[in-house]
Amino acid sequence: MKNKLIALAVTLLLGGSQVWAQAQQPATTAAPVATAKIGYTNMEYILQNMPESKDIQNQITIQRTQLEKNYGDMTKEFQDKLAAYEKGQAQMSDLIKADKEKELQGLQQRIQEFQQNSSSQLQNKYNQLVNPVMQKIQKNVDDVAKENGFTFVFNLDAGSGTIPVLLYAPEENDITNLVFKKMGVAIPSKQPAQQPAAQPTAAPKSATPAPKKN
């Protein structure tokens, strides 16, 4: 009888030790962690193949052409007045010469300011046209990710000009064609090599010499 009581006490003691040990284990082991499904795409590639892309480039080209024309007109006006000043300055009084030089310096400053503003105008126009399309693409990326169970989606061309965020991924995790399909856009026959974003460029710069002073 005594031996039975001892055996029962040992059993209870060991059982209590096991319960205490289990209580000390981290709570995170109680529930399994869901496996993340990671996808990727190329937002710039999708943008370049959107129907709106051609219209965006046309509008940017039209505005750039107009800016280049305005720049050319201003430059020609400066050069013509500079040539007239240099040709006739020997016969000018000091007062007229100072007035002509002031006019030329004002034109030169206007040209420099126009060069600076041209880049900003083109960039602002580009952003105005592209942002709604990018928002449309982003919405469809979100929808495709949710419908196909992707936990994360990377953008291959993030930080263009530097090392991409995603260095390697299985081809089956590329959701680009799924996004095209979701938006009803024809899937390109062959994906070209990654290219930098087509950004607008400012009107070309040309030298505008300052008037010579004697």
**pLDDT by residue (tens digit) across 129-149?**
999 999 999 999 999 999 999
Which of the pair, 145 or 199, is modelled with greater confidence? 145
**What confidence tier does 190 reach under pLDDT thresholds 50, 70, 90?**
low
Q: Is the pLDDT of residue 9 over 50?
A: no
The DSSP code sequence of 68-128 is HHHHHHHHHHHHHHHHHHHHHGGGS-HHHHHHHHHHHHHHHHHHHHHHHHHHHHHHHHHHH
Q: Considering only 50-64, 90-104, 160-174, which range has the smallest mean pLDDT?
A: 160-174
Average pLDDT value for the chain: 78
**pTM for the whole structure:** 0.65
Q: Is the pLDDT of residue 18 over 50?
A: no
Per domain, the residue ranges of the chain are: 38-183
Continuous segment of H or E residues that includes residue 52: helix 51-88
Q: Considering only 19-33, 84-98, 180-194, which range has the smallest mean pLDDT?
A: 19-33
**pLDDT by residue (tens digit) across 111-133?**
999 998 998 999 999 999 999 99
Whole-number percent of the chain with pLDDT over 90: 55
Q: How many CB atoms lie within 10 A of CB 195?
A: 12
103 Cβ contact list (under 8 Å, min separation 6): 81
User: Given this model, what pLDDT does residue 26 score?
Assistant: 54
